[in-house]
Amino acid sequence: MDKIHSLRQVAAIKHSLFEQGYLDEQFIQLEELQDDANPNFVEEIVTLYYRDSSRLITNLDQTLERNPLDFNKLDTIMHQFKGSSSSIGAKKVKAECTLFREYCRARNGEGCRRSFQQMKKEYATLRKKLETYFQMARQAGPKETAFRPK
């Protein structure tokens, strides 16, 4: 019974992540690539994403300190960030990346800085929520065993 309750909680967290627009369909696509031999594939990919993102955020921070701003470089870095965010289904982060790139194209430095701050917030929020989600999913264990007779 405990197990089923945990699984329901995990499902609820996941549902809200989608409802609130943090994740999109791509996340589900990734989950479908998991199997018994690769049960933690999504978490592994997301961990790679964090590593990649940290590097890109540092790069953006440094590039935004330059004077004058190198908008082409900023756009290129953000293109990468948008790409990997899209690959894991990080919907809100991806939207902020798009906005940032629009400011780059408009050569709007202030807009870039603002949207970068916003993007970092979204990224931090997503990261926290996903960490909770994966932790609960791990605790609940694999779905199949919940319904196997003891």
Applying CB under 8 A, the residues found at the interface with another protein are 26, 29-30, 32-33, 35, 38, 41, 44-45, 48-49, 51-52, 79-80, 82-84, 86-89
CB contact at 8 A, 127 and 17: no
| For another protein, the closer CB: 7 or 56 | 56
133, 104, 118: which is closest to 10 by C-alpha?
133
Distance between CA atoms of residues 63 and 67, nearest Å: 9
| For another protein, the closer CB: 53 or 115 | 53
Tell the smallest beta-carbon distance from residue 1 to another protein (Å): 34
| For another protein, the closer CB: 7 or 49 | 49
CB contact at 8 A, 28 and 89: yes
Tell the smallest beta-carbon distance from residue 101 to another protein (Å): 11
Cα 43 to Cα 25, 31, 59, 140, 146: the distances in Å are 16, 9, 24, 15, 21
| For another protein, the closer CB: 7 or 43 | 43
Tell the smallest beta-carbon distance from residue 3 to another protein (Å): 28
Tell the smallest beta-carbon distance from residue 35 to another protein (Å): 8
Amino acid of residue 48: L
